[in-house]
Amino acid sequence: MSTPDVTVTVIVHNDAERLTRAVDSVRRQTHADLEIVISDDHSTDETPFVARRLQARDPRIRYLRLERNSGGCSAPRNRALDIARAPYVMFLDSDDELPPDAVATLLAAHREREIDFAMGAVERIRVDNGRRSTWMPHLVAERRTLDGIESDPRLFFEHLSTSKMYTRSFLDRHGLRFPEGIHYEDQLFSAQAYCLAKSFTVVPEPVYRWYVAPFAASEAASISNQRHKLANVRDRIHVQHLIDAFLAESGHELLREAKDHKFLKHDFRMYAGDLPYRDDAWLASFRDLVTPYLDTLAPGAYARLPRPERVVLQLVRDGRTADARLASRGLGHGVAPRHVTTDAEGRTYWGEEVPATEWARRELDVSDLELETRPFTGAQFRHEITEITRGPGASIDLAIRTYDPVLRLPVGPQRATLLIAPGGRRLSVPFRLSPVRPGVFEGRVHLDLAAASLPLQGFAGVRHPLLRLHHQGLTNTGLLLAPLRFPTLTTRVASHVLTVEPEGHGPGRLQVRWQPTGVTAKLIRPAVRRVARPRVKRAARLIASALK
């Protein structure tokens, strides 16, 4: 039997439904001289039957079944590496896919020059809505070969083992295998690969399709989507300690600040967005778990963060759980705090008191946000729905409170507009915000969603209302936060099922969902898509031709 060019390992556990899709994506590769090792972590569903059926169809497929379940990704990958016959190896999870040219693209990079691994772009696909995006696009935007991770430490952010093709001799030379018995094994494995590699090549072409089911909270959710579990927090911190130890032992201590920044910006940031949905007991335990590790991080890693993220970090470390929830809502969306405090030197701090310690004052100092001096169009306010009442038909009545922490708005009532745009057609509802005390305004607005103008083919999607303020001919449009929990409202309007619900993740906005039904769903929308598709393709070809 001849030696294949590449071994692609497909790991699987109780995923009979999606295994065929993953394996078929490897079988369809434009570079066909490869072997496929299905490594089964002792599945108890129909996975063995599906795997053997696939093996019977294609002589390139080998089936490996672990004697007992390992509970993670490391053991099935390592066992597959033990029997892999090719000089180059790749890893694929059973719920994901390889694009058709993935193997050919990465193998070409290896054949161009001597490198330890090649890596490419990862296409993220949301399983709930089909939306596609590129994972860490700025890191894979251009083709380049790097002589070690020191050339671009930002690559620590791209910690997926599955987006890469490794030289088998490189892995064997360093004894590089996945750590067994822990989660987030990719982060340690990738950090070690980055540091041990003498050179590696980055290509901008997509080489992996990562199907993401966000906001999951079930036992069946992926490890990274089980952030509601404190064990998940422990696992993530444990692997950070292992990476830190490796950096110190391997002489890469100078990379520590870059790696710490990655932890704060990516790992901690994932938990920060969830804080509004956690109770006091969870938050107290979370603080106890993360604070000792946060205390070990390089100060420069904190200084590289945006100020709103530093605020959340410090509020968690100070045990100010209620404030941490408030600060974490709207991260990345320019949402102001409810209140700020100014000290005798004119420094402005998040919250209603001047922080007690020098470090806390430095982290909670929001003077650099320029809340008082930003142009009105970019000023930061905080808009919150305090009450939602169902009205007749498809209408709702909202009580809204706006916080103006640095008193940017003039004294007296303020003109405001509620905006929502299903299908690109805007519904605008003017109302008035009246002052109730300095820096706080309240108003009520009646939103009749039946008045929204929908396209002929209907609209299938989600929209979140925005709030616009008007002042001296200028406008300021901002996020509108909703109660995190309220009864879902469902009704029918214009051949659609209309649902008003909490967003359920992120900042927690008011979420309005339209789903076409009847003739609109079965006949009109498919017909419009069939007609529009050729036009879109022709337009794309014309644009591409004009850009050449």
Domain extents for the chain? 6-214, 224-369, 377-516
pLDDT at 227: 82
Q: What pLDDT shows up at residue 216? A: 46
Residue 330 is predicted with a pLDDT of 87
Looking at the DSSP bridge assignments, the partners of residue 445 are 398
Per-residue pLDDT, 536: 43
For 307, 362, 479, 495, 510, the CA distances from 444, given in Å and listed in that order, are 32, 38, 17, 29, 15
Superfamily of chain region 6-214: Spore Coat Polysaccharide Biosynthesis Protein SpsA; Chain A (3.90.550.10)
Q: What's the residue count for the chain?
A: 548
Residue 267 burial (10 A CB sphere; 0-12, 13-18, 19+): buried
> How much is the pLDDT for 358?
95
Q: What pTM did the predictor assign?
A: 0.89
Please report, to the nearest 10 degrees, the dihedral formed by the alpha carbons of residues 422, 328, 483, 128 taken in order. Answer: 40
Radius of gyration of the chain (CA): 27
Read off the DSSP letter of residue 297: S
User: Alpha-carbon distance 448 to 397, whole Å?
Assistant: 9
- Do 335 and 507 form a contact (C-beta atoms < 8 A)? yes
Round to whole Å and give the CA distance between 501 and 509: 9
pLDDT on residue 548: 39
Q: Is 436 exposed, middle or buried (0-12, 13-18, 19+ CB in 10 A)?
A: exposed
Give me the helices (H) in 216-298, please.
230-249, 256-262, 269-272, 280-294
User: Which CATH number is 377-516 given?
Assistant: 2.60.40
364, 355 Cβ separation under 8 angstroms: yes
Q: What stretch of H or E contains 120?
A: strand 117-126
Question: What DSSP assignment string belongs to 420-455?
Answer: E-GGG--EEEEEEEEEEETTEEEEEEEEEGGGSPPP
CB-based contact 90:165 (threshold 8 Å) = yes
Q: Which residues of the chain have pLDDT under 70?
A: 1, 214-225, 532-548
Determine the Cα–Cα distance for residues 199 and 323; give it in Å rounded to an integer.
Answer: 46
* pLDDT for the residue numbered 224: 54
The rounded distance, in Å, linking the Cα atoms of 462 and 484 is 17
Report residue 218: phi and psi, to 5°.
-90, 170
Query: What is the spatial distance between Cα 149 and Cα 367, in angstroms, rounded to a whole number?
Result: 35
Cα–Cα distance measured from residue 406 to residue 336, given in angstroms and rounded to the nearest whole number? 10
